[in-house]
Amino acid sequence: MGQQLTMTPQLQQAIRLLQLSTLDLQQEIQEALESNPMLERQEDGDDFDNSDPMADNAESKPAAETQDNSFQEPTTSAETLEDGEWAERIPNELPVDTAWEDIYQTSASSLPSNDDDEWDFTTRTSVGESLQSHLLWQLNLAPMSDTDRLIAVTLIDSINEQGYLEDSLEEICAGFDPELDIELDEVEAVLHRIQQFEPAGIGARSLGECLLLQLRQLPASTPWMSEAQRLVSDFIDLLGSRDYSQLMRRMKLKEDELRQVIELVQTLNPRPGSQIESSEPEYVVPDVIVRKDSERWLVELNQEAVPRLRVNPQYAGFVRRADTSADNTFMRNQLQEARWFIKSLQSRNETLMKVATQIVEHQRGFLDHGDEAMKPLVLHDIAEAVGMHESTISRVTTQKYMHTPRGIYELKYFFSSHVSTAEGGECSSTAIRAIIKKLVAAENQKKPLSDSKIAGLLEAQGIQVARRTVAKYRESLGIAPSSERKRLM
């Protein structure tokens, strides 16, 4: 005698559906609809008894009686009509009551109406374009010899996603067939033509050259143009290290003049290739919607994200309990799988609703006041509240999103570790990050706050955080060190 835990197929399916994101779940539902004839979408307005078709009284009723009246066949059918009546009712040539445009409206439906002022053609029809294809399109418009065009195509292939030339001109020149007799000067001349393409600064070999190319395309009357060109050509390293005193001495500029020159340089794009977006946009579909009604936070599932399913009553009525034929066995198995699938979806929705409700109940301060009011929360807290295992909570909160008045957040965003306070309480790491971000935003840019200074300011608020912890939180926020945040006022 012994005991062991067995994962039934139903349990395995429920766990698998639980950890799927909304988009993956929609694909899973579509595959189930295509493979199982017993499943169908439940449209709005459908009203019928979706009781178990495998009940004992199901086999004693004919198929037509197990269905709702809306699914009954019309009383007049081909079997009840005589041959003459059939010929009279259905003529040889049926009248055409539709036009070609009524059926094939794929292109016409996407065109704007006369009064549609907000219609954007590029938003609805454009697709992602790579940087290479964008440059090749401009190359096809430029008059050029066959040899120069070959060199240009090779150079474009060597430009990375940021817009910089990865290979040196010597390496590119050495890669051509010796019979073509291509010299280094020819390659450099073609490169200069490519550097005139859009976006400005493309094909540069260094950051200084990239900025210089962009400056040359600005109007000649731009203030501080010559000083900015000299800055990016000769003193780009000093600018990167923010050694402003050395820059003022070498360029013989006053502080206010140097500030205006740097402001002109900061309008340039150090990564021009990033302007050409080649990837398709990714959309986030929220699973849960949170809204405030009469000082109460309400949690509800996004019904539009996941379609509602039901068992097709017409097909389910064909199943007979005592029949052991191959067709009946197939329909019985399909019916059972459809019931399991629907129950797994219901279980997923119930679990997601329980977890989301507990998260909202715990993080009311965040919903009312923002990140600084976020409370510390771990999976164990929610698991105890809903009576489930932590692994189940982890599956529910992965790739699931909540729509709140403050934005769309992944459920895992509401979980954070805690730091002790001077009063003996706890403060979440998310709240500390928000405070650090607020302190940095309000700092004096001439004398930015160091990590030690930020730790001291947090300690003054009763939050005990070590300097290295502040540095870790600062890096997670994408905030540069104090030496790199220094600015000229």
Digit-coded pLDDT (tens) for 286-327: 889 999 888 888 999 888 877 788 888 888 888 877 677 888
List the one residue out of 455, 453, 448, 457 whose CA is nearest residue 482: 448
42 in Cβ contact with 308 (< 8 Å): yes
355 assigned to some structural domain = no
Rg (CA), the chain: 34
Q: Which two tokens stand for residue 174?
A: 């050495």
Q: How far apart are alpha carbons 227 and 220 in whole angstroms?
A: 12
78 assigned to some structural domain = no
CATH code assigned at 452: 1.10.10.60
User: Is pLDDT above 80 for 113?
Assistant: no
- Count of domains observed in the chain: 2
Q: How far apart are alpha carbons 256 and 489 in whole angstroms?
A: 8
DSSP-derived 3-state class of residue 418: strand
**Given CA atoms 342, 344, 348, 350 in this order, what sign does their dihedral have?**
positive
User: Is pLDDT above 50 for 367?
Assistant: yes
445 assigned to some structural domain = yes
Q: How far apart are alpha carbons 340 and 337 in whole angstroms?
A: 5
Of the residues 248, 279, 310, the one at which a domain ends: 279
Can the peptide bond before residue 199 be classed as cis, meaning omega within 30 degrees of 0? Answer: yes
What is the value of pTM for the model shown?
Answer: 0.60
264 assigned to some structural domain = yes
Report residue 434 CA to chain centroid gap.
23
Tell me the per-residue pLDDT of 406-459, one tens digit each, with 9 for 90 and over. Answer: 889 999 888 887 676 666 567 888 888 888 888 888 888 778 888 888 888 888
User: Is pLDDT above 70 for 201?
Assistant: yes
Lowest mean pLDDT among 94-98, 203-207, 375-379, 459-463: 94-98
Q: If you search the block for the tokens 């055409």, which residue do you land on?
A: 96
Q: Categorize the per-residue pLDDT at 46 as very low, low, confident or very high, splitting at 50, 70 and 90.
A: low
Q: How far apart are alpha carbons 203 and 215 in whole angstroms?
A: 15
Q: Is 424 left (phi over 0), alpha (psi -120 to 50) or beta?
A: left
66 in Cβ contact with 317 (< 8 Å): yes
Q: List the beta bridge partners of residue 416.
A: 377
139 assigned to some structural domain = yes
Q: Categorize the per-residue pLDDT at 358 as very low, low, confident or very high, splitting at 50, 70 and 90.
A: very high
Instruction: Tell me the C-alpha to C-alpha distance, in Å, between residue 75 and each of 61, 81, 88, 436.
Output: 19, 11, 18, 75
239 in Cβ contact with 253 (< 8 Å): no
381 in Cβ contact with 397 (< 8 Å): no
Q: If you search the block for the tokens 């996603």, which residue do you land on?
A: 161
Single-letter amino acid, residue 388:
M
393 in Cβ contact with 448 (< 8 Å): no
pLDDT reported for residue 108: 37
DSSP string, 310-322: EE-HHHHTT--SS
Kind plus residue range of the DSSP H or E element containing 312: none
User: Which residues form the domain of 475?
Assistant: 418-485
Instruction: Tell me the C-alpha to C-alpha distance, in Å, between residue 84 and each of 76, 77, 93, 119.
Output: 15, 14, 16, 56
Q: How far apart are alpha carbons 199 and 197 in whole angstroms?
A: 6
Q: How many CA atoms does the CB half-sphere of 14 hold within 13 Å?
A: 18
pLDDT reported for residue 356: 92
Tell me the per-residue pLDDT of 55-88, one tens digit each, with 9 for 90 and over. Answer: 444 443 443 343 343 333 334 443 444 444 444 4
Looking at per-residue confidence, does 234 or 485 come out higher? 234
Across the chain, mean pLDDT equals: 78
306 assigned to some structural domain = no
48 assigned to some structural domain = no
Of the residues 236, 254, 279, the one at which a domain ends: 279
Of the residues 279, 306, 341, the one at which a domain ends: 279
List the one residue out of 127, 192, 135 whose CA is nearest residue 163: 135
Q: Is 93 left (phi over 0), alpha (psi -120 to 50) or beta?
A: beta
100 assigned to some structural domain = no
User: Is pLDDT above 60 for 117?
Assistant: no
Give every CB contact of residue 67 below 8 A, 6+ residues apart in sequence.
48, 313, 314, 317
